[in-house]
Chains A and B, each alone.
Chain A
Amino acid sequence: MAGIRISSNNFNGKSVEITFNPFSGGTIDLGTQTIPYDYISSNYEGDYSMYIAEYNKTCPLRVGVPPSPTPSATSSPTPSITPTMTPTPTPSAPSIDPDAAAYLADVVASGGTTNPTIEAAVDTLFTDLKSNGLYSKMLAMYPYVGSTAASHSINALGNKTYDITWYGGMTHSVSGATGNGSNGYGDTHFSNGLFTQNSLSSGYYQINNTTETLADVSVMGVYDNNKPPIIQISSDQNNSNYRLAFGNIGSRTSASNSGNRNGNYIATRTTSNTSSAFLYRNNNLEITTTSDTYTSSGSLTSPVFVFNFNLNAGTPYGISYSSATLGFTFMGDGLSASEVSTLDGIINTFQTSLGRNTY
């Protein structure tokens, strides 16, 4: 994916109102941005006008060569800009991460919509995961951008086998994917030994607050033919508890919630021992499993569902449909407390960039 970086010797870190007139015609308002600013687009050649309100200065920038050069383009200097105040925008090669670019291309190809804000947020997500050693621990992840069912189904790591198939009624928007609480769920097709028995994690970012009136409403999980371990993150009937299951389904561990169900949930297990599975919400440890029943004894063989949990090899549990709005879902290898903290920050930064963060 092509694009430019706009930077300045004088004004880096300042807010700049950018207007772009492509050589191909038209005007694009790129909004108020903080420079350095990456404009990612295949159509980036043209004239940029950058207004710095703090100094009441407008700085022009031409990128590329117009198809039909005009005399005024080569003979009209910009006298209003003094040497000391003139920013020196420097078009450069696009810096977007190649895997982020591939994911964004998939989103567009599926009919989804992106913009510079989404593209920058996705690029930062990928680069932060990689620079912190977490990208290689992700097995599947769903950033839910593009605002359509097809774009929200995409596994951002590129393996199309784990693209989500949506069943029943779902709503897809810039806020993410929303279940209807009656029959909507997603099948990630992620299963069958893809989790390492004693090194696995999963999580989601819930944007809305939901009030559950039915038992065992689950946002994600899988339960495989009565053979532990299962993964299930759910609520109880009176909406007062979280539940985490990393073991026998009859022996899950619950913890009181604060009344707010939104936030960034990360569950992880790193050993087979008792008290080895944890649920974090917004980087706070909410649940530590405490029973011998959580000793791991086998690998999962059924796919993980979202907006419900997979009960016995392919069937969503009858009353477990969630009405959550999700902005992120992932499955991965087991994570240490430190890694959970780092991942929590990366995911929340991503949501903040998209204006859908909860904390």
Chain B
Amino acid sequence: MEVRLLTIIQKEAIEGKQYAPSSYFNPIQDCNDEWIISQQECDNCVNPDYEWVKDLPVIEYCPKPVPPITGDTI
């Protein structure tokens, strides 16, 4: 899965901002602690203030490891 790489300044510029009707950017960190957004956010962005996201570098997505929640009863 390909995603788009953000600088910290770019992340802070778009976090929680609207990119399309009813839709808001949600930057997350990948396994290398880099800030990224999804390809869909770039493709669907119609807010002229953030058209620049379409030019962000493309990288392969590496999920950030998070300890799973344990204690299930099976």
Which A residues lie at the B interface, using CB under 8 A? Answer: 110-111, 148-150, 152-153, 163-171, 180-185, 214-216, 236-237, 241, 243, 248-255, 290-291, 317-319
Contact = CB atoms under 8 A, between A and B. Distances in A.
Q: Which 4 A-B pairs have the closest CB atoms?
A: A169-B38, A169-B40, A215-B68, A168-B26
A148 B23 CA distance: 10
Contacts of A237: 68
Given A153-B22, A182-B28, A168 B41 contact: yes
B38 A184 contact: yes
Nearest to A168: B26
B74 interface: yes
B20 to A, nearest CB: 6
B21 A148 contact: yes
Contacts of A252: 69, 71-73
Interface of B: 1, 3, 20-28, 36-41, 44, 61, 63-66, 68-74
Contacts of B20: 149
A309 to B, nearest CB: 10
B22 A318 contact: no
B73 A254 contact: yes
Contacts of B23: 149, 166-167, 170
Given A150-B22, A168-B37, A184-B26, A253 B73 contact: yes
Nearest to B4: A169
B74 A255 contact: yes
Contacts of A171: 40
A110 B23 CA distance: 13
B66 A180 contact: no
Contacts of A216: 68-69
Given A110-B22, A251-B71, 9 more contacts: A169-B38, A183-B26, A184-B26, A216-B69, A236-B72, A250-B69, A252-B69, A290-B73, A319-B63
A167 B26 contact: yes
B38 A183 contact: yes
B38 A168 contact: yes
A215 B69 contact: yes
B72 A254 contact: yes
23 contacts: A149-B21, A149-B23, A149-B44, A153-B22, A166-B22, A167-B23, A168-B28, A169-B26, A169-B44, A181-B1, A182-B1, A182-B63, A184-B38, A185-B26, A216-B68, A216-B69, A237-B68, A251-B71, A252-B71, A290-B73, A319-B64, A319-B66, A319-B68
A259 to B, nearest CB: 17
A102 to B, nearest CB: 19
- Which of A163, A169, A182, A241 neighbours the largest number of chain B CB atoms within 10 Å of its CB? A169
A226 B4 CA distance: 34
Contacts of A317: 66, 69
Nearest to A293: B73
B59 to A, nearest CB: 12
A140 to B, nearest CB: 16
B28 A183 contact: yes
B38 A180 contact: yes
Given A180-B38, A182-B3, A291 B73 contact: yes
A306 to B, nearest CB: 13
A103 B70 CA distance: 41
Contacts of B41: 168-169
A290 B73 CA distance: 8
